[in-house]
Structure 1
Amino acid sequence: MSTQASGNGLVHDVLIVGGGLVGASLAIALDAQGLDVGMVEAAPVGALPPVFDQRNLSFAEATLNALQALGVLALMRAPTGPIRRIHVSRRGDFGRMLLDAQAYGRDAFGRVVVARDFGEALEARLLQLQRLTRYRPARFVGLGESDEGLRHVRIADANGERTLRTKLLVAADGARSALRDALGIASREHDYGQTLFVARLRTQRAPDGTAFERLTDHGPTALLPRGDGHYGLVHGVPREDAETVAALDDAAFLARVQDAFGWRAGRFLSVGERSRYPMLGCVADALVAPRAVLVGNAAQSIHPLGAQGFNLGLRDALTLAECIAEHAADPGDDAVLRRHAARRQEDRSRTIAFSDGLARLTSNDASLLRPLRSAGLVAGDAFGWLQGWLVGGAMGYRGDVPALCRKVAA
């Protein structure tokens, strides 16, 4: 079983700072290679990181393939919701785009998973690992002097500070990555001026496998088909309106969301507990530094429109694991990191451009753009080649895809 580490100056093959979705998935992938892996986690024993809340995650087919191969999906207890169709429309524009998985020989493009359910499955899988050392609760403090071939990392826990050493240091500590800053890797931020409200929504018509993206001048409203007979709601509002919207009672909030979305799912009947998140994008200028690499939100935090964030981060982690497997004698070797950065370039740049461009275009209320947006929706619905391009990205097959994403392990 995974252990609570003690001592000072321990040496790991790989040290992961951050125990969220991407960091934990990477630890599982590396354990299969027989590597000595350490993971620095802020959450104490018996608790999940805050990221594992009631938000809804849209897992692409490629992501589901990988998580099954890693032994995580089998440990999920709550039902997931299949995404069999994707319906995209914009308020005030004519046209709509409808993608149907059956047209591509698939039962579904992916599935909707509640973050907390996924977190519990990841934790159960982590507890099965034989070589993982977990430092928790602990936090990254800073970098120390490095030996040749090793990074020195200072962490702090209830017993004070200690120094760990590792051949490869992985930043998986989120968009506000302290480790990325310590490594001297600059990043570019973009404030979308939106706050996203997330909740469980019950509607007059039960989910039938259709995921809806309704776009407005002020942000997206998405309904994702969950496995419990409800929809997962994501409702974007201008940042200056966030406090007012947060203060609404359930009836007033439902009326607001109904007005933004329309009636394709029937009347909105009830809404669960609401959470909110400011929408800030952040893209690191580089993915690697000497004996260090960024993955997940530490590498790029993108707009959730298109539901690409975790899917992209998981492909970061699995590509890194593949590159390490090719050079297991030294996971932090420059050749490993160069190979990883090269393999991630196309997928990363195209996914960031797609999500950011879609968010900026669809939220722009300029009247001159209305015909362009409408034509885009009509074209997306009419032309098979364009649909195919969109579907490939939606299912997670963009660029150099890790092997685990392409097939389900036997």
Structure 2
Amino acid sequence: MTNASLQAGARQPVLIVGGGLVGASLAIALDAAGIEAVMVEAAAPRVGDQPSYDERNLALARATVNGLGAIGVWKHAAAQATPIQYIHVTRAGDFGSVQMDAARQGVDALGWTLPARELGAALLRRLDECTRLRRLAPARVESLEPVADGWCARIQTAEGPVDIDTPLLVGADGTASFVRDRLGIEAERHDYRQTLFVCTVTPERDHAHRAYERFSDNGPIALLPLASRRCGLVLTVPQHEATAVEAMDDEAFIALAQERFGWRLGRLSRPGKRHPYAIQRVAARSLVSTRAVLVGNAAQTVHPIGAQGFNLGLRDALTLAELLTGANDPGAEELLANYAARRAPDREGTMAMSHGLVQLACLQQPVLGPLRSLAMLAFDRLPPLQRLIARRGMGFRGEPPKAVLERLP
């Protein structure tokens, strides 16, 4: 249940509410920096009990893998990851394409694909190595009250209630964030009226470490390279079709995926278990409040197009850990203002990119077709533009945390 106990008279710990992918990553980064922390998670500390350690296949940007390496997580996950060496993006009905090649960018991989459950298992193994972290799981925060120089949290655990005072409250508790609501931070919401289905499939042709994304009026579809010649399928459908798609047998579902994706990898077969996810955009109007900060999906939940959700959230966590390292007061107003300023260009740029892509690439407006085609042709013929887009796609936007700039171990 815990890695370390709080000693009487010890410095008050940072309190992290939420132990999903981002919350756990932050807890590990703080432990590595020698910072005392408590992490509260509703689920038991097992892969099968944590909702975010699910069947999604995550596309991890190069910066993300650098960051996971820097905090000691990647060593537990690398064997299950598949490199992405080439990315191919098209739009049904338009000509041209966007293509990114790792070799042309001077790197061995643009990113890696990893099942969320495998990343979750790697995080749990790394959490077990932490010595300055107290983990409360399963547990839930019942109340949060402001006190002098911080917050007091009443936490219900299996052994009974626990009160923890903290100079810095971190909301890492997901899209429906209790912490964000308690802080009174409003959020902008947009319902895309789309549902995402994820599963694995086997293509007739070897994926050769290539990732594909194809847009259409009905939304994007993507195939991500996995081990054993499998691919992770990400299929978006209009919300009103979701019930019918969920009820399809394997033959009908794979026929739909084939129709939407095409035959670039030959016939698709052997679909795994399907999992639906409703898609929405939720953006907190502020990242910080008095002695409190939001990270990950609590700060922003983005459309999965471009696979930026966890990548963006990890950069939140690593930037915060970097700023807290050596800080005399982790909840100081100046420090939190610096965090918000550091994250703004990356956050706003990534959210604008994901939202704009949905609007541009998936709208049923024939007049946009020629413009989209010209844009893809221009990308293919302008190396400086390719380098800029590739760098941002690899997670190097704004002022990234130093951890993501480290070389891979």
> TM-score scaled by structure 1?
0.96
Equivalent residue for 2:302? 302
Partners of 1:322 and 1:73 in 2: CA distance: 19
Equivalent residue for 2:96? 95
User: Is the contact made by 2:80 and 2:118 (CA closer than 8 Å) also made in structure 1?
Assistant: no
Partners of 1:380 and 1:154 in 2: CA distance: 53
Equivalent residue for 1:149? 149
Equivalent residue for 1:355? 354
Q: For residues 330-367 of structure 1, what are the alpha-carbon distances to aligned partners after superposition, in whole Å with 9 as ceiling and x for unaligned?
A: 11111110111111111111111011100111110111
More deviation, 40-49/214-223: 40-49
Equivalent residue for 2:74? 73
With over 3 angstroms needed to count, the CA separation of the structure-2 counterparts of 1:57 and 1:251, relative to structure 1, is: same
Equivalent residue for 1:401? 400
Partners of 1:100 and 1:319 in 2: CA distance: 28
Partners of 1:332 and 1:375 in 2: CA distance: 49
Q: Give the C-alpha shift of residue 155 in structure 1.
A: 1.9
Q: State the aligned residue count.
A: 408
Partners of 2:156 and 2:10 in 1: CA distance: 14
Q: For residues 141-192 of structure 1, what are the alpha-carbon distances to aligned partners after superposition, in whole Å with 9 as ceiling and x for unaligned?
A: 221241x212111222234433211011100000110110000000001111
Q: For residues 274-305 of structure 1, what are the alpha-carbon distances to aligned partners after superposition, in whole Å with 9 as ceiling and x for unaligned?
A: 10100011000000001100000000000111
Partners of 1:318 and 1:94 in 2: CA distance: 40
Alignment of 1:11-410 (within 5 A): 12-47=12-47, 48-76=49-77, 78-146=79-147, 148-327=148-327, 329-408=328-407
Q: Describe the SS at the equivalent of 1:319.
A: helix
Q: Describe the SS at the equivalent of 1:310.
A: helix
With over 3 angstroms needed to count, the CA separation of the structure-2 counterparts of 1:409 and 1:256, relative to structure 1, is: closer
More deviation, 234-243/301-310: 301-310
Partners of 1:142 and 1:336 in 2: CA distance: 25
Partners of 1:326 and 1:45 in 2: CA distance: 29
More deviation, 225-234/168-177: 225-234
Q: Give the C-alpha shift of residue 13 in structure 1.
A: 2.3
User: Is the contact made by 1:219 and 1:238 (CA closer than 8 Å) also made in structure 2?
Assistant: yes
User: Is the contact made by 1:8 and 1:164 (CA closer than 8 Å) also made in structure 2?
Assistant: no
Q: Which runs of 4+ in 1 moved over 6 A?
A: 4-11
With over 3 angstroms needed to count, the CA separation of the structure-2 counterparts of 1:264 and 1:9, relative to structure 1, is: farther
The letter for the 2-side match of 1:347 is D
Q: Give the C-alpha shift of residue 326 in structure 1.
A: 4.4
The letter for the 1-side match of 2:83 is P
Partners of 1:395 and 1:374 in 2: CA distance: 24
Q: Describe the SS at the equivalent of 1:353.
A: helix
User: Is the contact made by 1:151 and 1:169 (CA closer than 8 Å) also made in structure 2?
Assistant: yes
Q: Describe the SS at the equivalent of 2:181.
A: helix
Q: For residues 184-230 of structure 1, what are the alpha-carbon distances to aligned partners after superposition, in whole Å with 9 as ceiling and x for unaligned?
A: 00000111110000001111012201100010101110000012320
Partners of 2:326 and 2:132 in 1: CA distance: 20
Q: Give the C-alpha shift of residue 45 in structure 1.
A: 3.8
Partners of 1:262 and 1:249 in 2: CA distance: 20
Q: Describe the SS at the equivalent of 1:228.
A: helix
Partners of 1:154 and 1:374 in 2: CA distance: 56
With over 3 angstroms needed to count, the CA separation of the structure-2 counterparts of 1:8 and 1:230, relative to structure 1, is: farther
Q: Describe the SS at the equivalent of 1:199.
A: strand
Q: Give the C-alpha shift of residue 260 in structure 1.
A: 0.3
User: Is the contact made by 2:203 and 2:229 (CA closer than 8 Å) also made in structure 1?
Assistant: no
C-alpha RMSD of the superposition: 1.9
The letter for the 1-side match of 2:308 is Q
Partners of 1:2 and 1:102 in 2: CA distance: 44
Partners of 2:363 and 2:150 in 1: CA distance: 48
User: Is the contact made by 2:2 and 2:136 (CA closer than 8 Å) also made in structure 1?
Assistant: no
Partners of 1:353 and 1:288 in 2: CA distance: 20
Partners of 2:6 and 2:398 in 1: CA distance: 41
User: Is the contact made by 2:44 and 2:137 (CA closer than 8 Å) also made in structure 1?
Assistant: yes
Unmatched 5+ stretches in structure 1: none
Q: Describe the SS at the equivalent of 1:44.
A: coil
Q: Describe the SS at the equivalent of 1:219.
A: coil
User: Is the contact made by 1:9 and 1:164 (CA closer than 8 Å) also made in structure 2?
Assistant: no
Partners of 2:329 and 2:122 in 1: CA distance: 30
Q: Describe the SS at the equivalent of 1:144.
A: strand
> TM-score scaled by structure 2?
0.96
